[in-house]
Amino acid sequence: MAAVRRIAKVWKSEPTIEGAGVHLKRAFGFHELPQLDPFLLLDDFHNSEPRNFLPGFPWHPHRGIETITYLLEGQVDHADSLGNSGVIAPGDVQWMTAGGGIIHQEMPRPSPSGGNWGFQLWANLPRSHKLMDPRYRGLTRNDIPEATLDEGVKAKIICGAVGGVRGPVTDVVTDPEYLDVTVPAGASFNHAIKNGHTAFAYVVEGKGYFDPQRDPFAYQAIPPRWLEMTRDCQFGPETLVLYERQGEQIIVAAEHNPVRFLLVSGRPIGEPVAWYGPIVMNTQEELRQAFEDYQRGTFIKRGLKQTNA
């Protein structure tokens, strides 16, 4: 029988402001390096006040990483420095590989009810692929398959496979998996995962148990709260659950309430990280070179390969 992953750490996302004034929740970022290698950052932009997201993310560069935007509500207008443009709608994904360099903008727009909600995940690239040709995949909600499992469990598969159904993104060097899973009350989700891969869950809605132990003191809770004398082993919205790297199976159970979560995994890179703003390289010298390229107008050296699934 496959060994079941145990929870290593749990923490809540933190409010922050990014771009030109976008209010969001950061699930993890620079301060969590390298615990989630190969992943660098996860932002949850969930807002019902247009003034808190309409400023958006005007023109800015990226190099050395991939940015994955997954939208639930509203829309995001995007454009890049080579003239490509489009709209990310609810259920859509933009998987952009910055590689050697791209300059783009992302401008959120409200839904009819005035809200905007989605997630942006940053995935690192290994040294061998830091300067690869940039590209992006524009995936609509119809491109993303959904697997229906026992007990009514459903999984939307952006990358990876569930129940024999494979997602549309396949040729990524860190072998990632990106799922949007909904578990009804009284049901459980059992999922095979590669031993040694980093894996985390981010709770979107509801509440659930993320390993079978159900021991609130078997994992590290961050930050430790000195007046908190009770701890729960069920986790609700805006909670990041980081798993240990040993084990080939993840089990998530919902009891009295359904739970919806993102499940992400990938092969760790294990290389040095030099990171400033939207650029992530291996050394400070490479970081300096990237900013010099940007200031000199030589940042983009390759053509953008666009793939619309």
d(CA 283, CA 121): 22
Amino acid at the residue 57: F
Angle formed at CA 78 by CA 77 and CA 82, multiple of 5 degrees: 150
Residue 309 covered by a domain: no
Q: How far apart are the first and last CA of the chain?
A: 37
The 10s digit of each residue's pLDDT in 19-62 is: 999 999 999 999 999 999 999 999 999 999 999 999 999 999 99
With contact defined as beta carbons under 8 Å apart, do 238 and 13 qualify?
Answer: yes
Evaluate whether residue 110 is within a structural domain.
yes
Tell me, yes or no, whether 242 lies in a domain. Answer: yes
Give dist(CA 35, CA 229) in Å, integer: 27
Tokens of residue 61, six digits: 């560069």
**308 falls within a domain:** no
Beta strands 85-88 and 75-80, pairing class: antiparallel
Question: 228: Cβ–Cβ under 8 A, 6 or more apart, which residues?
Answer: none
Q: Total domain count for the chain?
A: 1
Residue 227's pLDDT is what? 61
Q: Is the residue at 306 inside a domain?
A: no
DSSP structure class, residue 292: H
Tokens 């991939």 appear where? 66
Tell which residue, 127, 131, 61, 66, has the closest CA to residue 97: 66
Spell out, as residue ranges, where the chain has pLDDT lower than 70. 224-229, 301-309
Per the listing, tokens 């430790």 go with 224
Please give the distance of CA 42 from its chain centroid, rounded to a whole number: 5
CB 202 within 8 A of CB 243: no
Q: What is the rounded (10 degree) CA torsion for 19, 20, 25, 26?
A: 20
The model's pTM:
0.95
Kindly list the distances between the CA atom of residue 303 and the CA atoms of 72, 81, 83, 95, 194, in Å, as whole numbers in the listed order.
30, 11, 11, 17, 34
The pLDDT value recorded for residue 309 is 41
Residue numbers of the domain that contains 148: 7-299
Exposed, middle or buried by CB within 10 Å (0-12, 13-18, 19+), for 242? Answer: buried
Residue 304 falls inside a structural domain: no
248 within a domain of the structure (yes/no): yes
Q: How high is the pLDDT of residue 81?
A: 78
Please answer whether residues 266 and 39 qualify as being in contact, where contact means their C-beta atoms are separated by less than 8 angstroms: yes
**CATH code, domain with 45:** 2.60.120.10
- Report the DSSP pairing between strands 220-222 and 7-12: parallel
In a domain, 35, yes or no: yes
Cα dihedral angle (154, 158, 161, 164), rounded to 10 degrees?
60
